[in-house]
Amino acid sequence: MNDIVLYIYYSLPWLAVIGLSVAVVAGMAVGVVWPRWLVYPYLLVFFWITSTSYGSLAVFASRSIYSRGSGVLFFGVVLWAMLGAWLCARVAAGFGRDATPACSLRPWFWAWSALLAGHVAIGLVTGIPVAASLAPSGFSNIVWMAPLVSLLLLAFRTQEHAIALARFILLAGLGRALFGLGRWAALGGDPNNIYANMNALQIRLTFFDINDSLLCTMAFAIAAVTLFQAPRLASGKWWRVVCWLTLVATALCVVLSYRRTAWIGFVLACAVIVLRLPPRARLHWLAAGVPSIGAMLAWVAVRRLDQPHPRGAIEGGAGVGNLLYDMQSGRFGPESERVLELKLALADFLTHPLTGIGAWGRYHGYGAISWQDSPDGGLFLHSGVLHIALKSGMPGLLLLAGTIGAFVICAHRALRTLPPALLGLGLAGVAGLAFMLPDLLVGTPFPQVRTTQMLALCLGLPYVALACMHDGAAQRVGPGVRAAASPPHQLARA
C-alpha cells in the first residue's frame, strides 16, 4: 500500500503535465472549429475574479490570477491563453477564407506596439531589464488590448453570435450584481472595504473593484435597449423579467459600491443610454428612471458624506466637502497626498515632455506619499492620462488621443446605424467607456490587467456589432451579392 501511495505521489507532476497537454490540445481543437467558445470562459474570468485586495484586513493575500506566470513569462498566463485563443481564431478564419473585419483601432495598436518596442530597446541599451520595460506598471497592458479586440472580431461573425454575446454579458452582469447585493445584505459586503477598514467610515459596499461596476453598467445598457428599443428580443415573459431584474440589480450594485468614480461614470453611461433611446422611451426614462437613480445616489451619498472623514479637509467636518476629502488640504499641515502625487508626477513629465521617464521609471519624491511605501512605489499614480504622459511623454499622449478618437468616430457611426437587435451590444461598449472616463482621469486603470482587458472589451463591442450587421445584410441578400451588401470601404470607415 505504501508503495502505491509513493508511486502516485511521484507521478502527480507527470499526470498534471499530461492533463494540461490534453486540455491544451482539446482547447485548440474547439478553438479552430468554434473560436467563440474560447472567448466565453476567458471573459468569465475577468467578469468574476477581482483583481485587488486593496483595503482588505487579511494578513496574507493570495497572489492574483492576473499576475500568475508573469515572473517567468513577463506577462500573466491569462494573457498568453488569450493570445492562444486568438491564434486559433485566426487559423479558423484562414480555413474559412473569411476576411478579417476592418477596425480603425488596428493602426493605433500597432503604433503602441512600436512605442513599447522602442522603450524596450532603449532600456536594454541603458541597462534596464526587459522585465522592467514590459511590466504592467508601464503601458504594456495597452498593447495586450489589441489581441482581445481582434479575437472578438474573429470569433463573433454573425448576428446570432452578437446577440448571444450580448446576452452572455447581461447574464454575467446580473449574476455578479446579485452576488454583490447578497453579500452586502447578509455577509457585510466586500471585504476589500478601505472606507470601513482604514478610514473608519460606517458603510459597507458591494464591490470595491471598479471593474465589477463596469460589468454591471454594460449589462444595464443591454437590458435597457432590450426592453425599450428591441422588445422582440425579450418576447418571452421570462426574459423580460430577467431584463427588468438586471436593470434594478445592476443599478443598485453600482450605487452601493460607494465609489465616487463609479457614481459619476454611471451617470455618464445613463446619459449615453438615454440619448440613444427612442423619444417615447426617453420621456419614460426622464420621468421615472432618472428620478429613481437620482434618489438612490442621493441616499448613499448622504450616508457617506455625512460621516466625518479622518483625513477630511475640515477638522471634524462632514457634508459635501467630504466628496473630495482626499483632494483638499487642511488649513494647517502638509498638502493633500493625492494632489501632491499629481504635482510630483506632472513635474517629472514637464522635465521630460518628449520622451517621458520610460516605461520602467519612477517619479521623484514618491516616498512622501503614504500608499507608495511599497516595492511598487513611484511606478503608478492616480491618473490614467498623466500616467501615460509620465511614462511615454507626448508620443504616448498622442497615441492615447488617437485611439480614443478612432473609437469615438466608430461609436458615433454604430449608434446611428446599428439595428435594434445589435444596438445593445454596441451601446454596452460605448456606455462602458463613458463609465470609465472618471477612472481614466483620477484612477489607476493602465497598470491593471483586469481593467485594461475590460476596456478592450468595451472598445471591441461596437466594431463587433458593425461587422455582424454587415454580415447579416450579406446573408439576407444571398451569397451571390455578398460583396455588394458589405463593401470593404464601408467597414473601413468604421
Q: What is the pLDDT along the chain (494 residues), one digit of tens a residue?
A: 556 666 665 676 666 667 666 666 666 666 666 788 999 999 999 999 988 777 666 645 556 889 888 878 899 999 999 999 999 888 888 776 677 788 999 999 999 999 999 999 999 999 999 999 999 999 999 999 999 999 999 999 899 999 999 999 999 999 999 999 999 999 988 888 887 777 667 788 999 999 999 999 999 999 999 988 876 666 678 888 999 999 999 999 999 998 889 999 999 999 999 988 888 877 877 777 778 888 878 878 777 766 655 554 433 344 445 555 555 555 444 567 888 889 999 999 999 999 999 999 999 988 888 878 778 888 989 899 999 999 999 999 999 999 999 999 999 999 999 998 999 999 999 999 999 999 999 999 999 999 999 999 999 999 999 999 876 554 444 444 333 334 433 333 33
Residue 155 lies in a domain: yes
Residue 17 lies in a domain: no
CB neighbourhood size of 421 (10 A): 22
Q: 205 and 195 in contact (C-beta within 8 Å)?
A: yes
Name the residue type at position 194: I
pTM score of the predicted model? 0.87
Q: 380 and 364 in contact (C-beta within 8 Å)?
A: no
Calpha distance 289→422 (Å, rounded):
23
Residue 381 lies in a domain: yes
pLDDT value of residue 482? 39
**Structural domain range at position 132:** 36-492
Residue 22 lies in a domain: no
Residue whose entry in the numeric block shows the C-alpha cell 500573466:
76
Residue whose entry in the numeric block shows the C-alpha cell 504592467:
136
Which CB contacts under 8 angstroms, 24+ apart, belong to 468-477? Answer: 468/156, 468/157, 468/158, 468/159, 468/161, 468/162, 468/422, 469/159, 469/417, 469/418, 469/419, 469/422, 471/157, 471/158, 471/159, 472/158, 472/159, 475/158
pLDDT value of residue 15? 62
Residue 3 lies in a domain: no
CB neighbourhood size of 288 (10 A): 10
Calpha distance 67→136 (Å, rounded):
9
Q: 391 and 359 in contact (C-beta within 8 Å)?
A: yes
- DSSP result, 186-240: HS-S-S--HHHHTT------S-SSHHHHHHHHHHHHHHHHHHHT-GGGG-SHHHH
Residue whose entry in the numeric block shows the C-alpha cell 488617437:
402
Calpha distance 274→283 (Å, rounded):
9
Q: Quick one: which of 177, 218, 248 has its CA closest to 436?
A: 218
Residue whose entry in the numeric block shows the C-alpha cell 445593445:
424
Q: Quick one: which of 466, 369, 338 has its CA closest to 410?
A: 466
Residue 104 lies in a domain: yes
Residue 9 lies in a domain: no
Q: 439 and 452 in contact (C-beta within 8 Å)?
A: no
How many CA atoms within 13 Å lie on the side-chain side of 379? 18
Most distant CA atoms of the chain, gap in Å: 77
CA 109 to chain centre: 17
User: Cβ neighbours of residue 289 under 8 Å, at least 6 residues apart?
Assistant: 270, 274
pLDDT value of residue 327? 53
Calpha distance 409→13 (Å, rounded):
52
Phi, psi of 178 (to 5 degrees): -65, -40
Using alpha carbons, list the distances in angstroms from residue 387 to 70, 403, 456. 22, 16, 18
Q: What total number of domains does the chain contain?
A: 1
Residue 5 lies in a domain: no
